[in-house]
Amino acid sequence: MPRRAAEKPGEKKRGRPQKADAAPKKKKPRRRKNSWDYEDEDDGDVAFEDAGGGGDADSESEEGQAKPKKKRARPRKALAPSTATEPPVHRKKKAAASVPRDEEEEDEDRLSLAERHRSRRQQYERDSEQLLQEVRGLALQEKKTQEKLVEKLKRDVTTLSRQAEEERKKRKKDVDRLVADKMREYDAKQRSRDDGDAEKKALRERIKELEAQFASFKRSTGPEDVVTVNAAAASAMRNSEATLQLNQANKLLELYRLVTSTEIRLIQAGDDDDEVDDCTEVVCTTRDSATGNQFEFELAVPAVASSEIEYLPSETPPTGIKVPSYLREELSFSRSEMTKFIRSVLDVVIRKKKV
């Protein structure tokens, strides 16, 4: 090994700078070192001249390694003679050996950086793909939900349309029925009015005829017969009123027969009957409108309200029914029991009770 140079008297020994005394290092971005930093033609001379210093050369080399900086030209200075010097070839080998280590570190850093970049890119791609799949799933789920809602709305619309159509048909039927009923009522009233108009017209014609007859009779007779003519005209007017009342009575009887299914006919008194007419005798025929079964009987209704009504069985046999025993004999009952009697007769005709 080379020996360290002997110290001269009067020179202080230069020691290595301590770590605490060194300035804080600042991190700088790595830069690739080129061969110009190490392979300089003057490097051998510098190393050879600094070999006598010993500690100074080592400290400067350590500071140079701690803070890599671009080398600048330094002024040459006289150094103490040294008995042992370090050959410059060893310094070049040392600098050349440090270059591959830095390049390997840079390659490793570059590879690790590329690997991190690739892993991050793959992670971003995976995250993007996962997010895309989630978005697609949500969109598909939303589409299915919308389709279900659309189907439900279609069903609701169909149901409501069907209900509205049924309600419309029902209302139309009700309206048609009401219109038909009103038209029937109107037709019945119109017929009744036409009949009344016809009767009035007939009465007017009759009055005109009577007036014409009265005028001709008045012309053919003298003034003495005015009272007789007036009496005849009054009698004719009474006859016309009686005819009108008779027509109305016939209409009422027809309606009564239709409503109660009972036809009433008046029994005419004989010529040899000299008794006072205080009782009205009628023949009643109750008929079932569905089957045509009928039952005939006679009633004698007194003019006095407190007297009892007499029931007489008719000689005409009933058709399609069996008459109870109590209706085969003569009966008498008050006016308050008339409703009960009519109901029993209807039960016989309609319900066909067996005795």
Total H helices, total E strands in the chain: 5, 5
SS (H, E, C) 195-233: HHHHHHHHHHHHHHHHHHHHHHHHHHCCHHHHHHHHHHH
- The pLDDT score that the predictor gives to residue 83 is 45
Could you tell me the pTM of the whole model?
0.33
Phi, psi of 12 (to 5 degrees): -85, 145
* CA angle, residues 316, 317, 322, in degrees to nearest 5: 145
- The pLDDT score that the predictor gives to residue 119 is 92
* Long-range contact set of residues 274-280: C-beta below 8 Å, sequence gap at least 24: 278/302, 278/303, 278/304, 279/303
Here the tokens at position 334 are 């008050």
Residue ranges and CATH numbers for the domains of the chain are 35-113 (no CATH), 261-267+277-355 (3.90.1150)
**The dihedral of CA 210, 216, 220, 224: what is its sign?**
positive
Q: List b or e across 120-158, with b for residues whose CB sees 16 or more CB atoms inside 10 angstroms.
A: eeeeeeeeeeeeeeeeeeeeeeeeeeeeeeeeeeeeeee
- The pLDDT score that the predictor gives to residue 153 is 94
Q: List b or e across 317-337, with b for residues whose CB sees 16 or more CB atoms inside 10 angstroms.
A: ebeebebeeebeeebeeeeee
Residue whose C-alpha is closest to residue 95's, from 70, 72, 69, 61:
61
- The pLDDT score that the predictor gives to residue 2 is 46
Contact 318, 293 (CB under 8 A): yes
- The pLDDT score that the predictor gives to residue 84 is 44
**The dihedral of CA 209, 212, 216, 222: what is its sign?**
positive
Q: What is the DSSP string of 115-166?
A: HHHHHHHHHHHHHHHHHHHHHHHHHHHHHHHHHHHHHHHHHHHHHHHHHHHH
Element containing residue 81 per DSSP (H, E): none
- Residue 23 exposed, middle or buried by CB count within 10 Å (0-12, 13-18, 19+): exposed
Q: What is the DSSP string of 27-56?
A: --------GGGT--TTHHHHHHHHTTTTHH
Q: How far is CA 95 from CA 90, 141, 178, 340, in A?
A: 9, 68, 121, 146
3-state secondary structure (DSSP) of residue 280: strand
Q: Hey, what's the torsion of the CAs at 203, 208, 209, 210, to 10 degrees?
A: 90
3-state secondary structure (DSSP) of residue 179: helix
Question: CA 251, CA 11: separation in Å to the nearest integer?
Answer: 167
Q: What is the DSSP string of 298-329?
A: EEEEESSTTSPEEEEE-SSPPBSS---GGGSS
pLDDT one digit per residue (tens) for the chain, 355 residues: 445 544 445 544 555 555 444 455 555 555 555 545 544 444 444 444 444 444 444 444 444 444 454 445 555 544 444 444 445 545 555 555 555 667 888 888 889 999 999 999 999 999 999 999 999 999 999 999 999 999 999 999 999 999 999 999 999 999 999 999 989 888 888 888 888 888 888 888 888 887 777 777 666 655 554 445 555 556 666 677 778 877 887 788 788 778 888 888 888 766 555 555 678 888 888 888 888 888 899 999 888 888 899 999 888 888 778 888 888 889 999 989 988 988 888 888 886 544 4
